[in-house]
Chains A and B, each alone.
Chain A
């Protein structure tokens, strides 16, 4: 049982990564609808099998409209104080993540 779950998680993660690759390729071609569809699917797979979208990919999803953010195209990335601020140019949502000092370790993670 445990083994099958791990295998499922493994495949789910691979699919998510693959979908992000495809989404990026489509975005470069200008096929926005397809790009959105791939991100939507990646999110659905992640939710269904309780697999996290890797943080280096999650960074580039808009938290407001779930579009793939590409700096220079539909996203603006600026350093503001202690934060990297990414603005989605489609919906205007701003996402901030710290880049300086590491936060105190969370009590949940051990």
Chain B
């Protein structure tokens, strides 16, 4: 079993390519890169210039790119919880 759109919310986000599609903060939308760390309220995204961007989960819509080019749109509000607590949600 791999990461699929059905179990993405419980699965590991680290290492996935992502893009902020929509945000209440216009400076944040459009940022893309790989997820390198995760806290309860934030995703740390490393962009192609190897800069780390800390982006709040709540209020943003993310697109995650799974392997084989599948893209999944996720509301950030659904991700708000500590990474190790997310499996049970």
Contact between chains at A22 and B15 (CB < 8 Å): yes
Count how many chain A residues have C-beta atoms less than 8 Å from C-beta atoms of the other chain.
Answer: 18
Q: Tally of A-B residue pairs with Cβ under 8 A?
A: 40
Q: Does B21 contact A (CB under 8 A)?
A: no
* Chain A 1-33 interface 0/1 with B at a Cβ cutoff of 8 Å (1 = within): 000000010111011001101100000000000
Q: Does B77 contact A (CB under 8 A)?
A: no
Contact of B87 among A18, A34, A45 (CB under 8 A): A45
Contact between chains at A8 and B87 (CB < 8 Å): yes
What residue in chain B is nearest A49 (Cβ atoms)?
A: B87
Chain B CB count within 10 A is highest, among A15, A18, A37, A44, for A15
**Known contacts A18-B12, A19-B12; A11 and B87 CB within 8 A of each other:** yes
Q: Does A65 contact B (CB under 8 A)?
A: no
Contact between chains at A11 and B83 (CB < 8 Å): no
Q: Does A57 contact B (CB under 8 A)?
A: no
Contact of A34 among B36, B84, B85 (CB under 8 A): B36
Q: Given the complex of chains A and B, what is the CA–CA distance between A14 and B7 in angstroms?
A: 11
What residue in chain A is nearest B85 (Cβ atoms)?
A: A48
* Chain A 64-106 interface 0/1 with B at a Cβ cutoff of 8 Å (1 = within): 0000000000000000000000000000000000000000000
User: Apart from A11-B11, A14-B11, A41-B14, what are 19 other A-B pairs with CB-CB below 8 Å?
Assistant: A8-B10, A8-B87, A8-B88, A10-B1, A11-B10, A11-B87, A15-B11, A15-B12, A15-B87, A18-B12, A18-B14, A19-B12, A19-B14, A21-B15, A22-B14, A34-B36, A37-B37, A48-B84, A48-B85
Chain B residues with CB under 8 Å of chain A are: 1-2, 7, 10-12, 14-15, 36-37, 83-85, 87-88
